[in-house]
Structure 1
Amino acid sequence: MQTNTTYTSFVAVGDSFTEGMSDSLPDGGYRGWADLLAARLAARTPGFRYANLAVRGKLIGQIVDEQTGPAAAMGADLVTLVGGGNDVLRPKCDIGRVCGLLEEAAERLAPSCKRLVLMRSPGRRGPVMERFHPRMERLFSHVDELAVRHDATIVDLYASEAVGDPRMWADDRLHLNAEGHRRVAEAVWQALGHEPEEDWDAPLPPAVRPGWLARRTSDARFAREHLGPWIARRVTGRSSGDGRAPKRAELLPYQG
């Protein structure tokens, strides 16, 4: 845990997790843990500035090429870097290359800020994620090494049973829901040395298992609305973030 430092600016770098999917807003946009964290930091510091360069679907190479340069140039006090998750979930993944690119990102960002935050990003518990477990562990071992090398703060969300609980995830089974993002914001808040407002890793009450028909209906809807389109994008080489600009591309005074 870091000391309770006052931060005057914050830049978030990454993919859909940091963009805020699927913490939906009434206007169709997304909020997410980074926006929630920025709001809490802004409440303590007049003139607090915030940028969120994260874009859904981005691979770690794209994050390095498109986000790390602009983020480093902003010279923010606080920078969060989360990436590589989209790479790991692809059928063919050169995990050594992913780790190397993540290292390149950290090397660009660490000298530009007072505090770099890295994460062991969360994973939804279930049989699908189990097949990717060896890749995730290798990636996160490298994240640990980078945190030591750059004196970065690390937030371990992957080990959390609560955040990994399916009830913390949206219907697409890939992104956290509003409660999941709220817990992540609290986890980062505490990792930065601020007084806890709650136990972000508090266990959920026992789950009530849906009946067979409800499970099959849910699976069919998931396949139709989410899995099918995801596979189609992979086959055609498209990404959900193609042509999409960051929601907060400039480091400006925070306004919720």
Structure 2
Amino acid sequence: MPSGEYQRYVALGDSQTEGLGDGDDTAGLRGFADRFAEHLAAVSPGLRYANLAVRGRVAGQVHAEQLGPALALRPDLATVVAGVNDLLRPRFNAAEVAGHLEEMFAALTATGTQVVTLTFPDVGKIAPLARPIRSRMFDLNTHIRAAATRHGVTVAETARHAVATDPRLWSADRLHASPLGHERIAAALAEAIHLPGSDDTWTRPLPPQAVPRGRQAAAAELRWAAGFLGPWLGRRLRGRSSGDGRTAKRPQLLPLDATPASPADTGQRESS
């Protein structure tokens, strides 16, 4: 296979990889994995792509539910992105979460699959009310880098670029990337694997914009907490997940322009 060409790309993960924040459940979700597949297909016209991600999944669930199917598809390239849902749980252990990621790294790379992952930006700069858990994010990133090094996994370092926390790269819920954010993540992955035609333009800042301050900023935080954080916490306290009853949107390897069969659960509209 010529350098830079891939034939079988499989994405594992949670709601970000599924594509929440980029489209909707009615018209269809796009997301960074779909966009990354488009970058790949531009170089490898015969690319086939599967997306096993399901919203609401913690790293242990991604490991338990998606690794086996991913290995069965024999990918030559895989993205593994998970752990954010773990960060928001009362009990969080970065080593344990990264351990699930590392086991996926090990199993996939052992078959010759090239694996790509990413680090997470400072959540405290995206949602100020989330500042108490920013140390968890930093700890998880450190563990991800170490695990990736041990298994020859490529890391797209989105955490190290200020643009990753620009509000315009995040949807209104601040939990999922916006279409522009998903576009930048896809570009970061493409650059990380040195895909022909990729470059570092994804790291460049957006034009300046007015930032709410004082009472406006405080009011915005309260609206976000009431509209998104509260309902999210409520689901967790009730033992519910936005991914309950859902399956992967693209479980089989298909050409990029092929439309997968609609899952039986498309009537569910709740997002994580």
Matched, 1:13 2:23: no
Q: Indicate conservation of the 8 Å contact 2:15/2:53, yes or no.
A: yes
Query: Tell me, which stretches of 5 or more residues in structure 1 are unaligned?
Result: none
The alpha-carbon distance between structure 1 residues 213 and 134, as it changes in their structure 2 partners (threshold 3 A), is closer
Aligned to 2:134: 133
Deviation track 1:156-212 (CA, whole Å, cap 9, x = no partner) reads 111221011122111101111011111111111111112336610101222302366
**Deviation of the 1:121 alpha carbon:** 2.6
Aligned to 1:48: 47
Residues 99-178 of structure 1 mapped to structure 2, 5 A cutoff:
99-124=98-123, 125=125, 126-178=127-179
Q: Indicate conservation of the 8 Å contact 1:75/1:113, yes or no.
A: no
Aligned to 1:253: 255
**Deviation of the 1:228 alpha carbon:** 2.3
Aligned to 1:243: 245
**Deviation of the 1:66 alpha carbon:** 0.2
Aligned to 2:97: 98
Q: Indicate conservation of the 8 Å contact 2:191/2:200, yes or no.
A: no
- In 1, Cα distance between equivalents of 2:200 and 2:25: 26
- In 2, Cα distance between equivalents of 1:57 and 1:37: 21
The alpha-carbon distance between structure 1 residues 233 and 177, as it changes in their structure 2 partners (threshold 3 A), is same
- In 2, Cα distance between equivalents of 1:123 and 1:29: 29
- Size of the alignment, in residue pairs? 254
Amino acid at match of 1:143: I
SS in 1 for 2:29: coil
Q: Indicate conservation of the 8 Å contact 2:57/2:85, yes or no.
A: yes
Bigger mean CA deviation after superposition, 84-93 or 73-82: 84-93
Give me the TM-score of the superposition, normalised by structure 2: 0.85
Q: Indicate conservation of the 8 Å contact 2:148/2:154, yes or no.
A: yes
Amino acid at match of 1:189: A
Deviation track 1:38-73 (CA, whole Å, cap 9, x = no partner) reads 112123223210000111110011001100111011
Amino acid at match of 1:127: P
Please, which of 221, 228, 231 is the counterpart of residue 229 of structure 1? 231
Give me the TM-score of the superposition, normalised by structure 1: 0.90
Aligned to 1:87: 86
SS in 2 for 1:61: helix
SS in 2 for 1:132: helix
The percent of aligned pairs where both chains have the same amino acid is 42
The alpha-carbon distance between structure 1 residues 205 and 116, as it changes in their structure 2 partners (threshold 3 A), is same
Q: Indicate conservation of the 8 Å contact 2:105/2:153, yes or no.
A: no
**Deviation of the 1:25 alpha carbon:** 4.8
Query: Tell me, which stretches of 5 or more residues in structure 2 are unaligned?
Result: 259-272
- In 2, Cα distance between equivalents of 1:225 and 1:142: 32
**Deviation of the 1:253 alpha carbon:** 1.8
SS in 2 for 1:131: helix
Q: Indicate conservation of the 8 Å contact 1:69/1:108, yes or no.
A: no
Aligned to 1:60: 59
Q: Indicate conservation of the 8 Å contact 2:115/2:153, yes or no.
A: yes
**Deviation of the 1:221 alpha carbon:** 3.7
- In 2, Cα distance between equivalents of 1:129 and 1:4: 42
Aligned to 2:262: none
**Deviation of the 1:151 alpha carbon:** 1.2
- In 2, Cα distance between equivalents of 1:136 and 1:219: 20
**Deviation of the 1:111 alpha carbon:** 1.8
Q: Indicate conservation of the 8 Å contact 1:79/1:113, yes or no.
A: no
